């Protein structure tokens, strides 16, 4: 299959699942060696899970299918430029490339807040719309200190 075929599948998922009432107009496929490993679609409203974006769903299913948290060697095709949460998940999963159809401005034009989030992230913490405040850092650091000394930790 071609890159265009994979993208067409992501777009088809976005349309099919949106029309079925299962979520917003977003679809994604994870591909390895030109084969679709997993498909995801937006399930935010049907599962009451604000993290159930198409890319995150596809990543979770790909990791399950491949038995790993490391998707090195895979790429993702998504019907829209990933929001900051999905982009972070893509980086954490180590996907090699991202292909997208609609961009964040297209998403904003139909009511999605992706572009707003991209503008929030670079702001200093005290200027963000949602207050973000440190609390009990010394107590919290105890877990990191113990992790740092843990001889059998698995770095990810």
Q: Decide if 53 contacts 39 (C-beta within 8 A).
A: no
DSSP codes of every residue in 55-107:
HHHHHHHHHHHHT-S--TTEEEEEEEPPPHHHHHHHHHHT-SEEEEEE-HHHH
How far is it, in rounded angstroms, from Cα 34 to Cα 32? 5
Could you list the active site residues? 55
Handedness of CA 92, 98, 101, 105 (dihedral sign): positive
Please tell me what DSSP assigns to residue 124.
Answer: -
Task: Calculate the CA 137 to chain-centre distance.
Answer: 28
Backbone angles phi, psi at 27, to 5 degrees: -140, 155
């Amino acid at each position: 299959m071609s890159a265009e075929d994979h993208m067409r599948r992501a777009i088809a998922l976005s349309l099919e699942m949106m029309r079925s009432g299962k979520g917003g107009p977003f679809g994604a496929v994870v591909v390895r060696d030109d084969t679709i490993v997993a498909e995801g679609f937006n399930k935010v409203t049907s599962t009451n899970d604000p993290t159930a974006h198409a890319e995150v769903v596809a990543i979770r299913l790909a990791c399950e299918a491949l038995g790993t948290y490391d998707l090195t060697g895979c790429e993702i095709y998504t019907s829209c430029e990933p929001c900051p949460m999905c982009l972070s998940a893509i980086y954490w999963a180590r996907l090699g490339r991202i292909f997208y159809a609609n961009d964040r401005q297209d998403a904003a034009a139909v009511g999605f807040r992706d572009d707003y989030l991209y503008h929030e992230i670079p702001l200093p913490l005290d200027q963000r719309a949602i207050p973000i405040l440190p609390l009990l850092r010394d107590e919290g650091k105890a877990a990191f200190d113990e992790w740092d000394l843990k001889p059998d930790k698995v770095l990810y």
